[in-house]
């Protein structure tokens, strides 16, 4: 399908720190789709968000021609199918496509949740979380070696589905290293991922979307202070 959408036909409801929102924006950049980014205010939810995603009431929400779609990985797959004339995001081979989906689900279910908790954890709890994340990185290193076939990305020569799913978390991974005073992405243990992360963040579709570490650290501290003070948690 040719890219005939105008900016007003494509909207993204989101917020800059969210890795899940970043996924959608990267996919749109890969396909060269123009869109309107509607920034949600933290601590409140717009009426458009509540109307567009009444089940989960969370970002991101992708609106195409007035029709809303929720959940970041579902949105990325939709973008890949609708703007099929652009570079492919999902692998063309059914097996490779299934493997990419498996590892993307792993990132969401097993890798990112403990990563989010490290910065505020202490003692044995922190050690257990760090162990869980580093073991996850070891597994993703193996997956990278198999999927990339010696090339720069999980998707081969260019960014693909798993690159987007995992790469969107890199900002928070670095911020967690900073705040938790831990080393997670280690060149000695996961050399492939270290080089991949550099290539990913330097790609034209990604540049400017992965937040700077200092900015995320500042945001995380503000969020923690608000929650400690009893203010409504941010989105």
Predicted TM-score of the model (pTM): 0.93
Q: Is residue 222 part of a domain?
A: no
Asked if the model's pLDDT at residue 215 lies above 80, the reply is yes
pLDDT, residue 232, reads: 44
Q: Which of 38, 53, 82 is the last residue of a domain?
A: 82
Name the residue range of residue 128's domain: 94-216
Q: CATH number, domain at 11? A: 3.40.30.10
pLDDT, residue 1, reads: 39
Tell me, yes or no, whether 65 and 119 share the same domain. Answer: no
For residue 93, the number of C-alpha atoms closer than 13 Å in the C-beta half-sphere is 7
pLDDT in tens, 154-185: 999 999 999 999 999 999 999 999 999 999 99
pLDDT, residue 5, reads: 52
Give, for 118, the enclosing helix (H) or strand (E): helix 112-118
Tell me, yes or no, whether 71 and 106 share the same domain. Answer: no
192 in Cβ contact with 186 (< 8 Å) = no
Asked if the model's pLDDT at residue 6 lies above 70, the reply is no
Query: Domains in the chain: how many in total?
Result: 2
**Smallest Cα–Cα separation from 11: which of 29, 30, 32, 38?**
38
pLDDT in tens, 94-135: 999 999 999 999 999 999 999 999 998 999 999 999 999 999
Tell me, yes or no, whether 57 and 160 share the same domain. Answer: no
Q: Is residue 114 part of a domain?
A: yes
Tell me, yes or no, whether 206 and 186 share the same domain. Answer: yes
Report residue 84 CA to chain centroid gap: 21
Tell me, yes or no, whether 112 and 196 share the same domain. Answer: yes
């Amino acid at each position: 399908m040719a890219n005939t959408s105008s900016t007003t036909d494509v909207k993204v409801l989101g917020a800059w720190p969210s890795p899940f929102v970043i996924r959608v924006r990267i996919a749109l950049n890969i396909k060269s789709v123009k869109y309107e980014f509607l920034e949600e205010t933290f601590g409140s939810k717009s009426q458009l968000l509540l109307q567009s995603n009444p089940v989960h009431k969370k970002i991101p929400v992708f609106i195409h021609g007035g029709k809303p779609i929720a959940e970041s990985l579902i949105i990325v797959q939709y973008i890949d199918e609708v703007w099929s004339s652009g570079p492919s995001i999902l692998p063309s081979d059914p097996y490779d496509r299934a493997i990419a989906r498996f590892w993307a689900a792993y990132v969401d279910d097993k890798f990112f949740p403990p990563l989010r908790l490290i910065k505020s954890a202490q003692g044995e709890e922190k050690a257990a979380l760090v162990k869980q994340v580093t073991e996850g990185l070891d597994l993703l290193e193996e997956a990278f070696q198999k999927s990339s076939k010696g090339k720069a990305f999980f998707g081969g020569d260019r960014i693909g589905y798993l690159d987007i799913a995992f790469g969107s978390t890199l900002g928070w991974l670095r911020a967690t290293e900073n705040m938790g005073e831990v080393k997670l992405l280690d060149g000695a243990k996961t050399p492939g991922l270290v080089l991949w992360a550099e290539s990913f963040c330097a790609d034209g579709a990604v540049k400017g979307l992965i937040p700077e570490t200092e900015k995320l650290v500042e945001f995380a501290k503000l969020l923690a202070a608000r929650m400690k003070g009893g203010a409504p948690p941010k989105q």
